[in-house]
Amino acid sequence: MFDLTDKVALVTGGGRGLGRAIALALARQGADVAVNFRGNAEAAGEAVTEIRSIGRAAIAIQGDTSAGREACEAIVKAALDQFGKVDILVNNAGITRDNLIMRMDAEEWESVIDTNLGGPFWMTRAIARPMLKAHWGRIINMSSVAGRMGNVGQANYASAKAGLIGLTKSVARELASRGITCNAIAPGLIETELTADIPQAARDLVINSTPLGYVGSVDDVAAAAVYFASDEARYITGQVLGVDGGMMMGS
């Protein structure tokens, strides 16, 4: 068990799926949580209610992280206005727009890059100054095995997630002297709304290439996020942790 008492976390895309699991896991360890959402206010509200039922403070913050600097600064400001600080940033918001590269159009490319890479950049930029002043911070980026090995039909998604690894390492180097760590988590196949529509044949291929032989859960990933957010991980920065059942073992 990790003690996050008196810490404040901001989780983008925190209303559903993986983001919600991370938000709840952080709250269970004592953190107050700002749940960012883009469009599903009902899901974000349910997440906030569940966090409050644990005994932690929580708010929902509407905002589209793909919209750039001003939108991300507004999300961070709302969290700061409510809680006075943000100790932990989890850049989780992400989308897919899968297509073969010869068929991928500009909207499919740009929307994924703007959400999955642009969003984390602008959120990190917005949170950096308050964390620098506090001389403490945890930034956790949700990458993917696709960003480490590529994937057919996901040139946009894999590019964004690979870029996020580069961003993680650069931020880790820039902010380390002020006690701020930045790490990435690279999940394999995890049961979420995002992966629910994967055809069974494709699912079986992934499972067969996973040494542990089964699909992971959102709680597996949330546990890694809680660890990175804790003081126990204070000497770990610029790292990519594969929560993938061994899929990327040795790479």
Tell me if residue 235 is catalytic: no
Q: Are 244 and 216 in contact (CB under 8 A)?
A: yes
Q: Are 93 and 12 in contact (CB under 8 A)?
A: yes
* Strand-pair partners of 241: 185
Q: Are 49 and 23 in contact (CB under 8 A)?
A: no
Helix, strand, coil abundance in the chain, percent, nearest 5: 50, 15, 35
Instruction: Kindly give the residue spans of alpha helices, DSSP state H, lying in the chain.
Output: 17-28, 41-54, 69-83, 106-113, 119-134, 146-149, 155-175, 200-208, 218-229
Q: Which of 157, 214, 227, 235 is catalytic?
A: 157
Catalytic residue numbers? 157
